[in-house]
Amino acid sequence: MAWTIGNRYLSQAEMQGNAMEVYKYFHAKGWSMNAIGGILGNMEKESNINPGIWQSLNAGNYSGGFGLVQWTPATNYTNWASANGYGITDPNGQMYWIDSVTVPSGQWIPTGTYPLSFEQFKTSKDTPEYLASAFLKNFERAGVEVEAERRACARKWYDFLVQNAGDGIIEKAVKWARDTAADNSHGYSQANRWGPDYDCSSFVTQAYRFAGLDIGGGPGIYTGNMIMYFTAVGFEKVEDVNLSTGAGAQKGDVLLNIVNHTAMALGNGRIVQASSSRGHPEAGDQTGTEIYETNFYSYPWDCVLRYKGGGGVKPPEPEPLYITRWIPG
């Protein structure tokens, strides 16, 4: 993706491209995904995430707002940009200013409701909604707040990044699952299920643990308690997936039957799963189908869990002995 820049309102696809560029820049600076979602929620309402837009499209009105966060008057940014060798529409200059000049310029003023320092904001794991409000109150101080809209946009962009950022949680989990399935040194085992062999629930759980989620349950997690542990770290039950056809399933979704089986959706009608030893109890995948990718199939799935970020208080650790029992047809 690349930047779309101009004194006009952007399409959703253009905003998505710009949002990815914002993510890449701030992620490299150590910002949390949550904080990036929060600032993107503000940027959408301020500028359509467009570094070249003037307030009310009134080009050259330096007394009005300009740029990604609509610096007002525009000279608060443009004078600095010119003095530091940046074109005024250069997004790198604008993001550098946000990251490095916000504090020395006095733009960030912590409020009683949001008493975060700017450094705390950058790395915060609070919800994108909370951080959208923090940025609004502590940085923007907008005349027209539309706070609820900024919060909703923050969640939308956070979800978009989780789905699409190359090193986001879902992308990491899917990559681990696919790489493991493609490596025949990993097979199916219920007796030795935490690596190098896995059963269905340990396979999906480890994929998200390797992606960076601190999923509780230890070695005692199994299909019957996955809902409890997964929702505690930011997964939600979703109702937009047809459990018979797989329509609506998104990359990284956890397909679950709480008694027998779980698998991970890959999108485009595909899943990856730890399925069965196929009669080969020895370590490794002897058939190429103990852990493998396949088309979605109609199984009596109970629900679908989708990672949305955030998370709450973790449940207590279970006793470390649970066995799942499922062999596909």
Token readout for 160 is 């978009």
CA distances from 81 to 86, 89, 91 (A): 5, 9, 11
Give me the active site residues, please: 46
pLDDT at 268: 87
Model confidence at 315, pLDDT cuts 50, 70, 90, reads low
Give the model confidence (pLDDT) of 153-162 as tens digits. 999 999 888 8
The secondary structure element, H or E, covering residue 133 is helix 128-135
Nearest to 258 by CA among 209, 208, 326: 326
Q: What is the secondary structure of 165-211 as a DSSP string?
A: -TTSHHHHHHHHHHHHHH-TT--B-SSS-BSSSB-HHHHHHHHHHHT
Which whole number is the average pLDDT over 200-228? 95
This prediction has a pTM of 0.62
- Dist. CA 205–CA 28, nearest whole Å: 27
> In percent, how much of the chain has pLDDT > 70?
93
- Reading the block at residue 135, the tokens are 């940025």
Per-residue pLDDT tens over the stretch 111-170: 999 999 999 999 999 999 999 999 999 999 998 899 999 999 999 999 888 877 766 788
- Decide: helix, strand or coil at residue 40: helix
